[in-house]
Amino acid sequence: MRLARYAVLLSAVPLVGIVELVAHVVELRSVVPEENMVAARDAVARDLKPDDLVTFAPYWNDPIGRETFGDSIMTMKRAGRSDEARFPRAWEVSIRGEHDEALAKWKPVSEQRFGRVTVSLLENPEPVKVIDDLLDFIDGQHTVVTRIDQTGAESPCPFQHGASAGGSTVVPQGLLTPASKYLCASGSHVGITVLHALDHHPHVCINATPPVRLKFLGVRFGTSLVGHSGIQWMAERAPSRDTTTIDFKVNDRPVGLHTHRHGAGWVNFEFPTPELAGKRADLVADIGGSPQRMYCFEVTTRSAP
C-alpha cells in the first residue's frame, strides 16, 4: 500500500512540471516588449502639450511606464497629481485592454497601437482652469514661513539649499527631504515632497509639520480654493481622534478651515472665493496639530468650467 501511494505521488510530479511550464509560457506571452513601450513614449512625446496628463493602465504598470517615459514626460505634477480635473487632455497608455477609471467619461480623440500597447488621446469634457498652484510658491521668494511656539510667538524659517534625502525604504517609510526647503529652528522643514498616502499612490504636496504659518505672497484668485491633504500612511492607517488643521485667511479674513481627521486618507477640500476672483492677495495658511504627524497638503486657485 505504501509503495502504491508513493507511485501515485511520483507519477504526479511530471504533471505538475508540465502545468508549471505551460503557466510560464502563458506568462511570457503576456509580457509587453520594451520596444512597444518605447514606441508609445515617442508617439506621446511628439504631440505632448505642457498641460496634458499622461497615465498608465492598469495602475500596476505605472512604475514601468514612468521608468520608460522618463522624468521629462512623467513630471512630478503628472505622476503625483491629486486629481484629473485640471488637465484638458490625457494620454492613456494601456496594456491588456485596461483603462483608467478616472477618465471613463472623457471624450476619445484618437487611438494608436504599438504592438501590445495602446495609446489613446482623450479630452476632458469639463476642464477647470487652474490659476495658481501653491507648489510653485515654495521657492524662497513667494512664501514666508514662520514657526509658532506655545505662546504664539513666531520665529522665521529661512529658505536653504542643501542635499536631498530619500525617505526610508523600510517600514515606517519617511518622506523625501527636498534639497531646497524652509528650515525651522526646531529641525522641521517646509518643502515640496512626495507623500506615500493611505491609497498607496504618490501625491506631490507641501510637507509642513505643525505648528507653522505659511504666507503665500501675491496669489491670484479665482472662484474657489481647492486642495487635498493627508499624512504618512503608517500613521494614517491607524485611525485616532487626532486631527491636523489648516486655516486659510486673506487680509485677516477667514477663507476656510479644513480639519484632517487621521485615518481619513488623502482627502479633498474646497472653499468658495467669489469675492476674491480676479484679484491678487497674500494667502495665509496656519497649520496646527500634533508635531509628530507628517502632514502634507496641496492647494490651487481655480475658476469653474
| Top-ranked range on mean pLDDT: pick from 5-19, 207-221, 281-295 | 207-221
Least confident range of 101-115, 154-168, 171-185, 262-276: 171-185
pLDDT digits (tens, 9 = 90+) for 29-59: 557 899 999 999 999 999 999 999 999 999 9
- CA–CA separation, 24 and 17 (whole Å): 10
pLDDT digits (tens, 9 = 90+) for 243-267: 999 999 999 999 999 999 988 999 9
Helix axes 62-69, 34-47, angle to 10 degrees: 60
Residue percentage of the chain with pLDDT more than 90: 68
| Residue-level pLDDT at 170 | 46
Q: Mean pLDDT for the chain?
A: 88
| Residue-level pLDDT at 224 | 97
Mean pLDDT of 169-190: 76
Q: 301 is written with which cell numbers? A: 486657485
- CA–CA separation, 94 and 283 (whole Å): 40
Name the pLDDT band for 232 (thresholds 50, 70, 90).
Answer: confident
- CA–CA separation, 120 and 108 (whole Å): 7
Task: Report phi then psi at 146, rounded to 5.
Answer: -135, 145
194 or 22: which carries more pLDDT confidence?
194
Q: 281 is written with which cell numbers? A: 492677495
- pLDDT beyond 50 at 91: yes
The SS3 assignment for 129 reads strand
Q: Which residues contact 290 (CB under 8 A, 6 or more apart)?
A: 210, 242, 244
- CA–CA separation, 123 and 238 (whole Å): 39
| Residue-level pLDDT at 169 | 47
